[in-house]
Structure 1
């Protein structure tokens, strides 16, 4: 989708959400006959703390809305978490990190007790990780971008390159978050200019990778998985490729004590 078509889709989604919400749900008194169902634009704007003209332009696809505006409007329109994430994606922003309270994706990550696994958003921002992933990246926090973190770690050029190829293949070029990541990488690692200039992409969802860790080499097969019906999250799973790697994860003291 182009930037203009994405803004148009965002406006259409907000109009549909506005139409299904009754004034009484915002504590508004009925004021005469309404030509169309749901809330008026000025009512949504006032409840969201946004100017009427600006909100109208957002619905018309004429301007790009800030994250703060989209969060406020989503709250006013009583959007579900999935709908809110969809609005943020259309606006070019990442969804919120996953919390551990009953989240099925976090439970899925925990089902791999001896293989590192991360849940990523569509900008490769970290949403959650399992215990084995924290053995490799103990300081990797929810909300942090995996590509930007790997670019700062010595010896991670191969994993970084492989992920970058998939990132380019999956990304929407007019996405604000995508542009921010691709702009930041050369600033973090100017010595890898040959990677940033390369425009190669790769769509295969599985590839081997070797990681040097504490005087040993871990041999993993990385696989990218999409939970059914979830276009905003990707699971990155590192399955051990040899018995030694499996043993390193399965018998690590941190795992035995967790």
Structure 2
């Protein structure tokens, strides 16, 4: 990793910690709230004291000026009440997890993964009743099965630069008509994307999608500014299709040994007895 990349990652780590510090109320960590607080959340000296580190060191950590140990990051994460996903994200930004590869919108572009992709596509095609997508890490749609193109607008009929699941959910009327409760789904996908994006602050694909999200829906600026991250947990959705209301459990899988990306699978809910 170059010095510039290390500096950028330290900056992302500091921004992430500061955002979580500012949204944590003093009462949540057992501190009294006072009327004299001029800034939201906890003060830096409070986080430092509760984490057992010096104020100057913690300040430099938020400013992206220093590297630190895993033990310090574990302590700070506990102080900030970070959940498991956010804690893993902090460790990844600090270099305590395997580095992620550069986001590649074309999942089939790496020859060494051709066999994996072919197997995944064959598997998806064998699911006549389970719509499925292959997604690149930036949520670009790279492959889909017939069941998906039947339930949702067929990605093959969309311009290539529109084939991004998050962009379609936030800005495409047809997707929003089929999924009226699209917002929680889209927010979960955005948190999943941020977990990848924050570890690649200099990546052109990350920057391009981030800028496009801002430009496409400036009214959702509070979403794009949010520093929350997390894995995409299985969720139940109701799709208003031509056949009526259909219920699916949607799961995001990361197959071992495949090219960077994920498999989004819709499992039909059992019919009521």
**TM-score interval w.r.t. the shorter chain?**
0.5 to 0.7
Q: Aligned match of 1:133 in 129, 148, 168? A: 148
Partner Cα separation in structure 2 for residue 148 and residue 183 of structure 1 = 12
Partner Cα separation in structure 2 for residue 161 and residue 212 of structure 1 = 20
Q: Deviations over 1:200-253 (max 9, x none)?
A: 222244222333334833322111112221251210111122427xxxxxxxxx
Q: Could you say what the CA RMSD is over the residues aligned between the two structures, in angstroms? A: 3.1
Partner Cα separation in structure 2 for residue 229 and residue 90 of structure 1 = 14
Deviation at 1:184, TM superposition (A): 0.9
Q: Map residues 75-154 of structure 1 onto 2, 5 A cutoff.
A: 92-97=103-108, 103-141=118-156, 143=160, 144-153=163-172, 154=176
**Structure with larger RCO (C-alpha < 8 A, sep 6+):** 2
Partner Cα separation in structure 2 for residue 123 and residue 113 of structure 1 = 26
Structure 2 residue runs of 5 or longer lacking an equivalent are 7-99
Partner Cα separation in structure 2 for residue 134 and residue 176 of structure 1 = 29
Q: Deviations over 1:81-136 (max 9, x none)?
A: xxxxxxxx956543355899x92121011122101100111211111101111023
**Greater Rg by CA:** 1
Deviation at 1:148, TM superposition (A): 1.4
Deviation at 1:190, TM superposition (A): 2.6
Shift in alpha-carbon separation, 1:212–1:170, aligned structure 2, 3 A: farther
Partner Cα separation in structure 2 for residue 211 and residue 182 of structure 1 = 27
Structure 1 residue runs of 5 or longer lacking an equivalent are 7-88, 245-258
Partner Cα separation in structure 2 for residue 3 and residue 180 of structure 1 = 22
Greater than 4 Å deviation, 4+ residue runs: 1-6, 89-92, 96-100
The TM-score with structure 1 as length reference comes to 0.53
Deviation at 1:4, TM superposition (A): 4.2
